[in-house]
A and B are shown apart, each in its own frame.
Chain A
Amino acid sequence: MKTLSDKLLGGKQGVLGLALLALLIMVILPLGLDIFRLNLVGKYLTYAFVALSLVLLWGNGGILSLGQGMFFGLGGYCMAMFLKLEASDPISTKIQTTPGIPDFMDWNQLTALPWFWEPFKSLPFTILAILIVPTIFAYIIGFAMFKRRVGGVYFAIITQAIALILSILIVGQQGYTGGVNGITDLKTMLGWDIRTDSAKYILYYVNALLLFGCIFLSRYILTSKFGMLLLAMRDKEERVRFSGYDVSDFKIFTFCVAAMISAIGGAMFTLQVGFMSPSFVGIVPSIEMVIFAAVGGRMSLIGAVYGTLLVNYGKTVFSETYPELWLFLMGGLFIAVVMFFPDGLAGIYQKHARKIPFLKRWVAEEKQKQTDAHASHGKVGTKLGAEA
């Protein structure tokens, strides 16, 4: 039997991977970068939440959602609504026709706060909403689709369409959502200025801790019996169904967890970057986030974080110096990852780790463990041990 700590940390190799990632995120990057760049890294790390959710959903569950951006966006918008209400108190908005409502509402001739903005005056409600609104949304979509056994490319296309609908809706309803500019000019959270350098450091660390929390949560899910069933479902859905499991319930649950993880990322994005706009909701961001997970390795939780950092670093470097090359590179990356490295960075690492002398022993031990697991658990267990 595995102990809880084994489940969360994933054996010696898992500890090593986590420790390296923690060292990089918690120590090396904050020491090596100035606050502007660190804030940028913090922004990338919020995308890593989505990549993480896709590892759960797509890599392990075989469900490709092309609409994860909408959950990221919903989480982000919930946070932004709270911050915006705080930023538009009657004193600082006294030049408006209706003081006390967000500036974009005033520009769009709204004279009162819409009813669904009202509860976002409270922080506890906002935090609850960040976690629950996307989850309910995912539950409705998931229930409707998975109960009718819609999957594969159909699911991908329909989630993409829903992401499109949501982004058009946000852009179109300017008075209620801030339109194409999104919700901007966010200043304080319960009187605490989020724009100062010290606040940025604190938010960066909060974000990093939450990210590790989500990694642990995902790993706990994946190493449990549920995770094994998820993998089994991905490879032989019919067989799992015929064994008496309700496949759709598992899928709905995974989709909801993935939505919640993405939403946490979105909320942290708003806090660190200081705005939220529909350009993080629609089709393009949603599919870009899939490539983060694919580059890192669709089966590897830690790989997803590295993949996100790497692709975004590349995007920043290239769009600063050769903006034209970037799309070629991004497109090429999609094709290359799919054609040549379906397991991403994590796959490359696992293939070559045994050649590095220092890592040789770890890998050998892992192998031994897997053989043991194979003897006791059968094939699914082995696969899980190797890839989770």
Chain B
Amino acid sequence: MFGYSMAEIGNIMVMQGFAGLSMFSVLLLMALGLAIIFGQMGVINMAHGEFMTIGAYTTVMLSKLAVAYGFVNYYFIFAIIVAFVLAFAIGYLVEFTLIRHLYKRPLDTLLATWGLSLVMQQIFRSSFGAKEVSAELPEWLLGSFQPTPDIDIPINGVFVMGLAAVVTFGVFLFMFRSQWGLRVRATVQNRVMAGAVGINTKKVDRVTFALGCGIAGVAGAAFTTIASTGPTTGTLYIVDSFMVVVFGGAASLFGTIASAFGIAQAQSILQFFMTSSMGKVATLLTIVGILMMRPEGLFASKVRK
């Protein structure tokens, strides 16, 4: 097959699989935020990629600071928190000034947030320059470990995966085990009734939107460990993460995880055997094809329409 022996193919699968896992983690973090926002409010946030870029630039800036003051080994955890807080705050502001006026017009929200993403990209370009920058990684993130001589697994990938797992678990706790999550789910199910029992649905919307953006910020911090950041970094992931959300079935946490895994792995493994662009085309085409058969996504919650 393709001129490789079976053992080699096995090794390639494992290595590409792990490369796919880093991508899976970033995609998952991006899609989690999107899924929360989309599932909750039916709002498509085209500027979501730019919130990821905010997180990425925050990490890069903090790493510069860390290099200057010599705390490179500890800054990263700190950077994740700052990235989250910053993206959360900006998301909160955006919801307040823009999104909340457009809830009744979902298609218009799409256009307005696209406009927002253009403005944000230009802000990044004006303040950080058009060149791509990368963060100084702490030593414990560098290198790789080799379980067998042919297999090489980068540590940063494992770390990013762990981060994604922690955040996913956190989102699960927030949505299904906390008072806040209860309010969010109540608002999704029946907005009017939720309002009637005393839930401040507007506040719920605002916090949900900001939370989604905050998670995108964390995705940005994770992103810096696997690639360098430029003003248009966010646009690379936006279509993929939308596909993840739609493919998995909006408002389904498990669906989002499963489809992020499927899409990232398919792209990563196909990219090895075809050219990188054809791998992407094949993956996206398959998803679009499946979505045409099953528009509600793979794991849609069963609701009567």
Measured between alpha carbons, how far is A122 from B102 in the docked complex, in Å?
A: 50
- Checking A153, A283, A324, A328 against B44 with a beta-carbon cut-off of 8 angstroms, the contacting residue is A153
Binds B, one of A125-133, A162-170, A224-232, A354-362: A162-170
- Checking A149, A153, A171 against B277 with a beta-carbon cut-off of 8 angstroms, the contacting residue is A171
Closest residue of chain A to B292, judged by CB? Answer: A144
Asked whether A90 is an interface residue with its Cβ less than 8 Å from the other chain, the reply is: no
CB <8 Å contact, B110 and A156: yes
- Checking B105, B118, B126 against A334 with a beta-carbon cut-off of 8 angstroms, the contacting residue is B118
Contact indicator per residue, chain A 125-169, by CB within 8 Å of chain B (1) or not (0): 000000000000000000011001110111011101110110011
Asked whether A327 is an interface residue with its Cβ less than 8 Å from the other chain, the reply is: yes
Measured between alpha carbons, how far is A162 from B275 in the docked complex, in Å?
A: 19
> Given A156-B44, A161-B243, A283-B239, are A328 and B281 also a contact pair (CB < 8 Å)?
no
Measured between alpha carbons, how far is A157 from B114 in the docked complex, in Å?
A: 13
Give chain A interface residues in 311-333, CB to chain B under 8 Å.
Answer: 324, 327-328, 330-333
Measured CB to CB, the closest approach of chain B to A290, in angstroms, equals 6
Asked whether A45 is an interface residue with its Cβ less than 8 Å from the other chain, the reply is: no
CB <8 Å contact, A148 and B111: no
Chain A residues, CB < 8 A from B118: 327-328, 330-331, 334
- Checking A62, A66, A334 against B112 with a beta-carbon cut-off of 8 angstroms, the contacting residue is A334
> Given A330-B115, A331-B122, are A154 and B284 also a contact pair (CB < 8 Å)?
no
Measured CB to CB, the closest approach of chain B to A288, in angstroms, equals 10
Measured CB to CB, the closest approach of chain A to B230, in angstroms, equals 14
Give chain A interface residues in 249-294, CB to chain B under 8 Å.
Answer: 283, 287, 290-291, 294
CB <8 Å contact, A338 and B117: no
Measured between alpha carbons, how far is A162 from B242 in the docked complex, in Å?
A: 13
CB <8 Å contact, B277 and A152: no
Interface size counted on chain A using CB atoms at 8 A: 42
Chain B residues, CB < 8 A from A149: 295
Measured CB to CB, the closest approach of chain B to A153, in angstroms, equals 5
Measured between alpha carbons, how far is A291 from B284 in the docked complex, in Å?
A: 26
CB <8 Å contact, B295 and A154: yes
- Checking B98, B239, B278 against A172 with a beta-carbon cut-off of 8 angstroms, the contacting residue is B278
Measured between alpha carbons, how far is A287 from B239 in the docked complex, in Å?
A: 13
Give chain B interface residues in 6-63, CB to chain A under 8 Å.
Answer: 42, 44
CB <8 Å contact, B281 and A168: yes
Measured between alpha carbons, how far is A330 from B277 in the docked complex, in Å?
A: 29
Measured CB to CB, the closest approach of chain B to A330, in angstroms, equals 6
CB <8 Å contact, B111 and A338: yes
CB <8 Å contact, B281 and A169: yes
Closest residue of chain B to A326, judged by CB? Answer: B122
Asked whether B107 is an interface residue with its Cβ less than 8 Å from the other chain, the reply is: yes
Give chain B interface residues in 240-265, CB to chain A under 8 Å.
Answer: 242-243, 246
CB <8 Å contact, B292 and A145: yes
Asked whether B119 is an interface residue with its Cβ less than 8 Å from the other chain, the reply is: yes
Asked whether A342 is an interface residue with its Cβ less than 8 Å from the other chain, the reply is: yes
- Checking A154, A291, A324 against B126 with a beta-carbon cut-off of 8 angstroms, the contacting residue is A324
CB <8 Å contact, A172 and B277: yes
Measured between alpha carbons, how far is A156 from B280 in the docked complex, in Å?
A: 20
Chain A residues, CB < 8 A from B284: 161, 164-165, 168
Asked whether A202 is an interface residue with its Cβ less than 8 Å from the other chain, the reply is: no
Measured CB to CB, the closest approach of chain B to A165, in angstroms, equals 5
CB <8 Å contact, B98 and A153: no
Measured CB to CB, the closest approach of chain B to A140, in angstroms, equals 9
CB <8 Å contact, B277 and A157: no
Chain A residues, CB < 8 A from B105: 338, 342
Measured between alpha carbons, how far is A145 from B44 in the docked complex, in Å?
A: 19
Measured between alpha carbons, how far is A335 from B108 in the docked complex, in Å?
A: 9
Chain B residues, CB < 8 A from A330: 115, 118
CB <8 Å contact, B102 and A338: yes
Asked whether B291 is an interface residue with its Cβ less than 8 Å from the other chain, the reply is: yes
Closest residue of chain B to A148, judged by CB? Answer: B295
Contact indicator per residue, chain B 262-305, by CB within 8 Å of chain A (1) or not (0): 00000000000001011011001101100110010000000000
Measured between alpha carbons, how far is A338 from B291 in the docked complex, in Å?
A: 29
CB <8 Å contact, A327 and B277: no
Measured CB to CB, the closest approach of chain A to B160, in angstroms, equals 25
Asked whether B106 is an interface residue with its Cβ less than 8 Å from the other chain, the reply is: yes
- Checking B109, B246, B275 against A158 with a beta-carbon cut-off of 8 angstroms, the contacting residue is B246
Chain A residues, CB < 8 A from B109: 338
Asked whether A51 is an interface residue with its Cβ less than 8 Å from the other chain, the reply is: no
Measured between alpha carbons, how far is A141 from B242 in the docked complex, in Å?
A: 18
CB <8 Å contact, A294 and B98: no
Asked whether A91 is an interface residue with its Cβ less than 8 Å from the other chain, the reply is: no
Which 7 A-B residue pairs are closest in the complex by CB-CB distance?
A334-B115, A331-B118, A172-B277, A331-B119, A327-B122, A144-B292, A331-B115
21 interchain pairs, CB-CB under 8 A: A148-B292, A153-B106, A156-B44, A157-B246, A168-B280, A169-B277, A169-B281, A172-B277, A172-B278, A328-B118, A331-B115, A331-B118, A332-B119, A334-B112, A334-B115, A337-B111, A338-B102, A338-B109, A338-B111, A338-B112, A338-B115
B residues in contact (CB < 8 Å) with A: 42, 44, 98, 101-102, 105-112, 114-122, 125-126, 239, 242-243, 246, 275, 277-278, 280-281, 284-285, 287-288, 291-292, 295
A residues in contact (CB < 8 Å) with B: 58, 62, 64, 66, 144-145, 148-150, 152-154, 156-158, 160-162, 164-165, 168-169, 171-172, 283, 287, 290-291, 294, 324, 327-328, 330-335, 337-339, 342
